[in-house]
A and B are shown apart, each in its own frame.
With several copies, the nearest count.
Chain A
Amino acid sequence: MKGNEALAEAAIRTGVDAFFGYPITPQSEVLEYLLQEDAQKRTGMVVLQTESETASINMVYGAACAGRRAMTSSSSPGISLMSEGISYLAGAELPGVIVNVARGGPGLGTIQPAQSDYFQATKAPGHGDFRQLVLAPASVQEMADFIPLAFDLAFKYRNPVMILSDGVIGQMMEKVYLPEPRPRMTEFPEWATIGKKPGKERKRITSLNLIPLEHEKHNQKLQAKYRQMEAEEIRYEEYLCQDAEYIMVAYGASARIASRAVEMARAKGIRVGLFRPVTLFPFPAPQIEALSLRVKGFLSIEMSAGQMIEDIRLAVGKNQRVEHFGRYGGLVHVPEEILEAFERFYMEPHGH
């Protein structure tokens, strides 16, 4: 099963209520799969091809207001068009899942895989002081697994959650264990606007707050949620880090590719480990900081010109080398060149 399809099938099985999407390579299979598999018939899930990504995200907003599990999926340019809408979700404290099967930019760029939307996903998915939780799957299995996880987190925090994937993970096929089907929700959160309950106060959902002091409080509440995420939701994976002298840091497809480079390095007797952030926000900064106390250097591997490296540097400080190796603009690095880059930085006599 393709990564995109596994994600779609997982959405059906885990009882997602609504999907709104607009075609774009390399993620069109998500929408296509849901319609071809007749998700609507299988679970009653609403699946709608929209007129644009702007419509998609605002439909997610609408369905989320009803307390439903709503999601959309797109690729880089389409995600940019959702910026305002994602900001509204965050401002109105609504859960929602956005999938970005990223491709190379900027602009139309290319349809080939890339990881150049890291900053957008983790720092500024839209205007205003807000964050979204970002999960970065590195296998078809995780494309499936992260759907229920993303919704659980979205509802726990009433906040948008992004699954930041890329063309490699979205298009590749591998073995996947699909989640057991679970029924769709029938009880909705108390904040959902599903019609005023007799005897209860009416509900309202908005991101507007005209009284600055109140709005600051609202923002402080949002910030507190992000701090809570940092405390509770960091996820990561270590591979051969125990005795490592050097750490490669990579997520998503890059992590898969880098893990091979690590194996190649180990075969040569070089003690390298791989640290894979699974959540990009919250970023596993404390874990990287801890590692930094006992290794000699870091190499950030990204299919971008270097974005995650800023978060690594923030975690590590200036007392440790942090280098970047990236292929980008649609190019995917191969394990061999990662190893070469590593050796260039750290193994050559005057590497500094």
Chain B
Amino acid sequence: MTEEIIIAGFGGQGVLSMGKMLAYSAIMQHLEACWMPAYGPEMRGGTCNVMVSISHDKISSPVLRCFDTAIILNQPSMDKFESAVKPGGVLMYDPNGITRTPTRKDIRIFAVSATEEATRMNEPRIFNMIVLGAYLSVKPFLGLDHVVEGLRKSLPPRNHKLIPLNEKALRVGMGLITQP
């Protein structure tokens, strides 16, 4: 199994930490994982993305043109990465702020109203965990226990008290998928 993902959105949306959590979770499950951020100057205010590869085998290239899954969190990223999903792959996006919905027919497309849901839960910070939950339900190759372990690994100890909330968000996300 090899799963290659791109997550893209605004800086501040938790794009990088989402990717980190995915990578850590995979490692907890004794898979190989590689996390490669775009660390460009666009990070300040602008857009931000990270490529995550997960595999049973050693990961060769950390950098890719096409992905099994794209998780898209704003319009510029949609414009840039819709075409980067492999035929048959998955595109998942939060419709909040998206003005042009994806049009490809050869991929599976999911919308996750995570922003809306997080606002509803009055916890805007867990927005990205909701998205992650949604992803996990579409690509269920990671066990939730490993994801929680990955969470624990990637959060600094002082933030471990937030783990239950995050776990909740994951579960919420898992049930939030709609296919537009």
Q: Is the CB of B63 within 8 A of A174?
A: no
Contacts of A172 in B (CB 8 A): 34-37, 62
Q: Choose one: B20, B41, B63; the contact of A173 (CB below 8 Å).
A: B20
**A335 CB–B CB distance under 8 Å:** yes
**A309 CB–B CB distance under 8 Å:** no
Which of chain B's residues has its CB closest to A262's CB?
Answer: B60
Question: Closest Cβ of chain B: how far from A102's Cβ, in Å?
Answer: 14
* Beta-carbon contacts under 8 Å, B11-30 to A: 20, 23, 27
Q: Is the CB of B39 within 8 A of A167?
A: yes
Q: CA A156 – CA B32 in complex, angstroms?
A: 35
Knowing A112-B40, A173-B34, A173-B35, the reply to whether A259 touches B62 (Cβ < 8 A) is no
**A142 CB–B CB distance under 8 Å:** no
Question: Closest Cβ of chain A: how far from B42's Cβ, in Å?
Answer: 8
Q: Is the CB of A335 within 8 A of B65?
A: yes
**B162 CB–A CB distance under 8 Å:** no
Q: Is the CB of A257 within 8 A of B61?
A: yes
Q: CA A157 – CA B55 in complex, angstroms?
A: 40
Q: Is the CB of B40 within 8 A of A210?
A: yes
Contacts of A174 in B (CB 8 A): 23, 32-35, 59, 62
Q: Is the CB of B65 within 8 A of A260?
A: no
**B107 CB–A CB distance under 8 Å:** no
Q: Choose one: B37, B63, B65; the contact of A253 (CB below 8 Å).
A: B63
Question: Closest Cβ of chain A: how far from B170's Cβ, in Å?
Answer: 21
Q: Is the CB of B59 within 8 A of A335?
A: no
Q: Is the CB of B65 within 8 A of A175?
A: no
Knowing A172-B34, A174-B35, the reply to whether A256 touches B41 (Cβ < 8 A) is no
**A241 CB–B CB distance under 8 Å:** no
Contacts of A260 in B (CB 8 A): 60-61, 64
Contacts of A168 in B (CB 8 A): 36, 62-63
Q: CA A230 – CA B59 in complex, angstroms?
A: 31
Question: Closest Cβ of chain A: how far from B37's Cβ, in Å?
Answer: 6
Contacts of A253 in B (CB 8 A): 62-63
Which of chain A's residues has its CB closest to B41's CB?
Answer: A210
Q: CA A111 – CA B40 in complex, angstroms?
A: 7
**A50 CB–B CB distance under 8 Å:** no
Q: Is the CB of B39 within 8 A of A26?
A: yes
By the criterion of a CB under 8 Å from any partner CB, how many residues of chain A are at the interface? 26
Q: Is the CB of A334 within 8 A of B34?
A: no
**B66 CB–A CB distance under 8 Å:** yes
Contacts of B61 in A (CB 8 A): 256-257, 259-261, 334-335
Question: Closest Cβ of chain B: how far from A50's Cβ, in Å?
Answer: 23
* Beta-carbon contacts under 8 Å, A161-190 to B: 167-168, 171-175
Interface string of A263-293 (1 = CB under 8 A from B): 1000000000000000000000000000000
**A336 CB–B CB distance under 8 Å:** yes
Q: Is the CB of A111 within 8 A of B65?
A: no
Q: CA A169 – CA B174 in complex, angstroms?
A: 33
Question: Closest Cβ of chain A: how far from B12's Cβ, in Å?
Answer: 19
Interface string of A1-44 (1 = CB under 8 A from B): 00000000000000000000000011000000000000000000
Question: Closest Cβ of chain B: how far from A152's Cβ, in Å?
Answer: 26
**A64 CB–B CB distance under 8 Å:** no
Q: Is the CB of B63 within 8 A of A332?
A: yes
**A310 CB–B CB distance under 8 Å:** no
Q: Choose one: B36, B60, B65; the contact of A263 (CB below 8 Å).
A: B60
* Beta-carbon contacts under 8 Å, B41-80 to A: 41-42, 59-66
Q: Is the CB of B33 within 8 A of A175?
A: yes
Knowing A172-B34, A172-B35, A175-B27, the reply to whether A335 touches B40 (Cβ < 8 A) is no
Contacts of B62 in A (CB 8 A): 168, 172, 174, 253, 256-257
Q: Choose one: B27, B60, B64; the contact of A259 (CB below 8 Å).
A: B60
Q: CA A332 – CA B39 in complex, angstroms?
A: 13
Contacts of B36 in A (CB 8 A): 168, 171-173
**A129 CB–B CB distance under 8 Å:** no
Q: CA A335 – CA B63 in complex, angstroms?
A: 8
Q: CA A133 – CA B34 in complex, angstroms?
A: 28
Q: CA A172 – CA B51 in complex, angstroms?
A: 9
- Extra A-B contacts (14), CB below 8 Å, given A172-B34, A172-B36: A26-B39, A167-B39, A168-B36, A171-B36, A173-B34, A174-B23, A174-B34, A174-B35, A175-B27, A253-B62, A256-B63, A333-B63, A334-B63, A335-B61
Q: Which 6 residue pairs of A and B lie closest in terms of their CB atoms, listed nearest first?
A: A260-B61, A334-B65, A173-B35, A260-B60, A172-B36, A257-B61
Chain A positions near chain B (C-beta within 8 angstroms) = 25-26, 111-112, 167-168, 171-175, 210, 212, 253, 256-257, 259-261, 263, 332-337
14 pairs, A vs B, C-beta closer than 8 Å? A172-B34, A173-B23, A173-B33, A173-B34, A173-B35, A175-B27, A210-B41, A256-B61, A257-B61, A334-B63, A334-B65, A335-B64, A335-B65, A337-B65
